[in-house]
Structure 1
Amino acid sequence: MSDSATSTLPVQDARIYPRGGLDVLSRTEVARLRDASSGGMHELLRRCALAVLTSGSASDDPRAARDLYPHFDIQVTQQDRGLRIDLFNAPGMAFVDGEIIRGVAELLFAVVRDLAWTAIELGPEYASNLETSEGITDAVFGLLRNARVLKPGDPNLVVCWGGHSISREEYLYSKQVGYELGLRGMDICTGCGPGAMKGPMKGATIAHAKQRRSRPRYIGITEPGIIAAESPNPIVNELVIMPDIEKRLEAFVRLAHGIVVFPGGVGTAEEILYLLGILLREENAGLPFPLILTGPTMAAPYFEQIDRFLRLTLGEAATSRYEIVIGDPAAVARKMDAGIRKVREARIAAKDSFYFNWGIHIPLEFQRPFVPTHEAMAALDLHHGRPAPALAADLRRAFSGIVAGNVKEEGMRRVEQYGPFLIHGDADMMQALDGLLRAFVEQRRMKIAGEYKPCYRVVA
């Protein structure tokens, strides 16, 4: 094992041969993954690969791993006998006794698989396919199918949302909820990072072991802008990298049979607004979709503030689509189990699949990628009098921009260059938004470590 010239951290070169779903790539796919030009995929591949090779990292700075391992590189080669991946100056933490850890290797293969698929199937020559709602949904389906996460079977997949920066008590609570869900035969899907994304998976592993489940699923869904800041936690055994946050959110909703939300920050608020904006549409009014907001007793004020904000912005009708359960993991699991039974009945009646929710209507305004420039953030229409789904879509974009300014490298660069994003809207709405964001800062929900400097300014 050798050291890089600028770091004392151990690094290692390695040559590995993927198996099981990533045996071959086309010459075109390999060429795009090796393309190091400004429009090529190689830098994105290098960044995502480094994130999974540092799986379990506690940092949420997307530049940290790159600075620690500046000489890391990865090359993908298609040979007559199959695919070969060469690693140079790879983090030593990904190896044991000179061999790459099996779970880390699987995540690395997932990175290559998903980026190769995106480079071709969602490449510039197919951009017209992504101009309609149906085309975007088909793209989400195709990527999930290529990743082999669409598996027939009775509904049992619970998506868990929540922050990467949470208190110890909140983390332990999320683990207990995961345990109760696992005892009832439910698999877990999260954003794949630390905190409330790791806790439910960790709890479920114990429950699945107790119930002697032989093939439990711990699905992590991420996207390139997030994975560098939130490396996959070690429990993830099925990783999917979606091309952007909107397709990531759609993947969660299409896969989920129910969703549990733990305390979190702006990313969690974005997820809640995305889902409620969809569920409040008339087309989805009768669709069963269990949504439970939960946390330990000390998190009650957090959910009270979230609830007030949702009532103020989206109206009282929004409250009918979610339930708040405080301090009772078993009750969360029982309610989720009952809710999923209704989902099963509804899917059978509608002749919809169990593994992909075709029946839920997601309009184009929730699917189009939002690029959080300063102009786009200032132009968001955050005023009363708009239909709740439309307002939810713009509120979701506001939180998405703050996420970008906090942890996504491109967003961080924009803030460093032009200053904080300005968010405008009705006075009462902006006051509530500012209060919610200030609470996130005070409760250290924006960053895991270090002093937080806001990337936004709320203007009434």
Structure 2
Amino acid sequence: MSEPTINALVSPEGSLEILSNHEVNRLKDRSEGGLYRLFRQCALAVLNTGVEADDCKSLMEQHADFDIRLVPQPRGLKLELINAPASAFVDGDMLRANREHLFSVLRDIVYSHSIPSSAAGFRRDDPEDITNLIFHILRNARVLQAGRQPDLVVCWGGHSINREEYTYSKDVGHQLGLRGLSIVTGCGPGAMKGPMKGATIGHAKQRVKDGRYIGITEPAIIGAEAPNPIVNELVIMPDIEKRLEAFVRAGHGVIVFPGGVGTAEEILYLLGILLHPDNRDLPFPVVFTGRKENADYFEMIDRFIRNALGEEAASKYEIVIDDPVRVAQIMKKGMDDVAVFRRAMQDAYHFNWMLKIDPVFQLPFEPTHETMRALELHQNQPVHLIAANLRKAFSGIVAGNVKEQGIRQIQEKGPFEIAGDPALLEPLEDMLAAFVQQNRMKLPGSLSYHPSYRIIRGAA
């Protein structure tokens, strides 16, 4: 049975009420270089806010007759929606959160594509230009608030978690909210929704009226992880690498809940950055946490990190089991340490300019059968490069699991091949097998998981 749909004319809510003729033409352009397809895909995803689906391709196919059109007005802009999901409306009126997200999509797509083409001398492969682009996108989205004390806790974890794990993430969020801390996540369900939901109650108890629930996503994954209903600030970065950098530049600390390959990718990205010698003295609290039943999970993650990256990497995080209060206390203390350090170094509270990020973590990685097979997965290289290449391997698996282009590649050519040193690949294979066994590759309710990868040992 097909989902009911609605046709509607929607006025702006929150941002971007006017566009230039050039921007309008690019958004209408349905050719390969135009922005119409990207805009339509992201718009459809946010209209499914709160719907727990993890297959972007299926979402597009289910709503193949959905269309979105720009309607210029004398005093601004409206969007015409054709065959939009009825779940985004109540009594014929679009939910305000969906309307905000819809125009956030418009704002970020237009802005992130206009800067590179309009900024003199902008280079897509220059580290400083990449960081500046991220800063401008976040500032344009009003995520960066001058003068506000450090209070943004980035929460990573799986969208495919069980009810008990979700409840624990909510308990942690509640404790963070009681301490006046706000939440940044990937904006989807599961461990991304739980901390936000818990924080809303903590904020309500403390009468915090400016609590922030920031969701940072990117076009290739938003259809698989549509924003959860609590997100009140949505930002769409151009790609996964800029999304990850936005987390660590805008956030002041990280909490990691149990997850699958996407969470492992985030962990490796973060550790690879923190291992850079220039970042050795930067305060950046990191906690891995879960229920007592998750102790074995984090022992597995810890063992994998120590094997792949060494003991120094393991010193960058603390594992806290079944203690939401302790987690929140560590984060609160970490926020204070960040504030003292930034003030002493005359660095901004709202954007971590001092954080050194090697270009290998910034340049977009496009997972294909060729690039996945060519990854340098061996230990005869600097530790940050090991982290970078493992991060790319996990990124490719995520693409094959949930991103439209990755899914199509797997359907056409079979699984991605991951080859390299058995010393790295054996623990990697064991961890991936555990993720599958624990149902961390798909949302609860999915029939089965068909691996998007194949491990080939001993052939780098």
Same fold (TM over 0.5): yes
Match of 2:422 in 1: 427
Match of 2:212 in 1: 217
Out of 135, 140, 145, the residue aligned to residue 141 of structure 1 is: 135
Match of 2:35 in 1: 41
Letter in 2 for 1:455: S
Match of 2:448 in 1: 451
SS at match of 1:382: coil
Deviations 1:375-397 (A, max 9, x none): 11111111113111111011100
1:126 shift after superposition: 7.2
1:450 shift after superposition: 2.1
**Matched-pair contact (CA < 8 Å) for 1:53–1:90:** yes
Out of 168, 171, 182, the residue aligned to residue 163 of structure 2 is: 168
Pairs aligned (count): 454
**Matched-pair contact (CA < 8 Å) for 2:13–2:96:** no
Match of 1:4 in 2: none
Match of 2:186 in 1: 191
- Taking the aligned partners of 1:36 and 1:220, their CA distance within structure 2 comes to 28
Mean CA deviation greater in 177-186 or 334-343: 334-343
Match of 2:401 in 1: 406
1:122 shift after superposition: 3.2
- Taking the aligned partners of 1:45 and 1:342, their CA distance within structure 2 comes to 40
- Taking the aligned partners of 1:89 and 1:399, their CA distance within structure 2 comes to 36
State whether structure 2 residue 346 is matched by structure 1 residue 357.
no
Match of 2:285 in 1: 290
- Taking the aligned partners of 2:303 and 2:223, their CA distance within structure 1 comes to 33
**Matched-pair contact (CA < 8 Å) for 1:30–1:116:** no
Mean CA deviation greater in 123-132 or 199-208: 123-132
**Structure 2 gap segments, 5+ residues each:** none
Letter in 1 for 2:142: R
Distance 1:447-1:77 versus aligned 2 partners, 3 A rule: same
Match of 2:153 in 1: 158
Mean CA deviation greater in 61-70 or 225-234: 61-70
Match of 1:20 in 2: 14
Deviations 1:16-46 (A, max 9, x none): 1114331211111111111111221111111
Output the TM-score relative to the length of structure 1: 0.97
State whether structure 2 residue 263 is matched by structure 1 residue 268.
yes
**Matched-pair contact (CA < 8 Å) for 1:247–1:367:** yes
Letter in 1 for 2:134: V
1:8 shift after superposition: 3.7
SS at match of 1:150: coil
- Taking the aligned partners of 1:148 and 1:128, their CA distance within structure 2 comes to 22
- Taking the aligned partners of 1:8 and 1:282, their CA distance within structure 2 comes to 55
Match of 1:345 in 2: 340
Query: Structure 1 vs Structure 2: percent identity of aligned residues?
Result: 56
**Matched-pair contact (CA < 8 Å) for 1:27–1:78:** no
State whether structure 2 residue 80 is matched by structure 1 residue 83.
no
Distance 1:62-1:414 versus aligned 2 partners, 3 A rule: same
Out of 405, 410, 418, the residue aligned to residue 413 of structure 2 is: 418
Mean CA deviation greater in 67-76 or 237-246: 67-76
1:83 shift after superposition: 1.2
- Taking the aligned partners of 2:451 and 2:15, their CA distance within structure 1 comes to 42
1:87 shift after superposition: 0.6
Output the TM-score relative to the length of structure 2: 0.97
- Taking the aligned partners of 1:144 and 1:8, their CA distance within structure 2 comes to 37
SS at match of 1:160: strand
**Matched-pair contact (CA < 8 Å) for 1:57–1:231:** yes
Deviations 1:181-205 (A, max 9, x none): 0000000000000000000000001
- Taking the aligned partners of 2:428 and 2:451, their CA distance within structure 1 comes to 14
Runs of 4+, deviation exceeding 4 Å: 123-128
1:124 shift after superposition: 9.5
Deviations 1:322-373 (A, max 9, x none): 0000000000000111111111111001100001000100111100000011
1:63 shift after superposition: 2.2
Residues 73-152 of structure 1 correspond to what in structure 2 (within 5 A)? 73-123=67-117, 128-152=122-146
Out of 24, 28, 31, the residue aligned to residue 30 of structure 1 is: 24
Letter in 2 for 1:291: V
**Matched-pair contact (CA < 8 Å) for 2:417–2:454:** yes
**Matched-pair contact (CA < 8 Å) for 1:32–1:119:** no
- Taking the aligned partners of 1:19 and 1:65, their CA distance within structure 2 comes to 25
SS at match of 2:56: coil
- Taking the aligned partners of 2:272 and 2:315, their CA distance within structure 1 comes to 13
State whether structure 2 residue 268 is matched by structure 1 residue 244.
no
1:59 shift after superposition: 1.2
**Matched-pair contact (CA < 8 Å) for 1:12–1:92:** yes
1:459 shift after superposition: 1.2
- Taking the aligned partners of 1:111 and 1:127, their CA distance within structure 2 comes to 26
**Matched-pair contact (CA < 8 Å) for 1:30–1:77:** no
Letter in 2 for 1:147: A
**Matched-pair contact (CA < 8 Å) for 1:29–1:119:** no
**Matched-pair contact (CA < 8 Å) for 1:257–1:340:** yes
SS at match of 1:361: coil
Match of 1:331 in 2: 326
1:127 shift after superposition: 8.6
**Matched-pair contact (CA < 8 Å) for 2:57–2:403:** no
Out of 303, 306, 322, the residue aligned to residue 311 of structure 1 is: 306
SS at match of 2:315: helix
Deviations 1:81-107 (A, max 9, x none): 101111111110000011000111001
**Matched-pair contact (CA < 8 Å) for 1:219–1:236:** yes
Letter in 2 for 1:110: S
**Matched-pair contact (CA < 8 Å) for 2:47–2:102:** yes
- Taking the aligned partners of 1:363 and 1:130, their CA distance within structure 2 comes to 15
- Taking the aligned partners of 1:127 and 1:8, their CA distance within structure 2 comes to 49
Letter in 1 for 2:449: Y
1:9 shift after superposition: 2.0
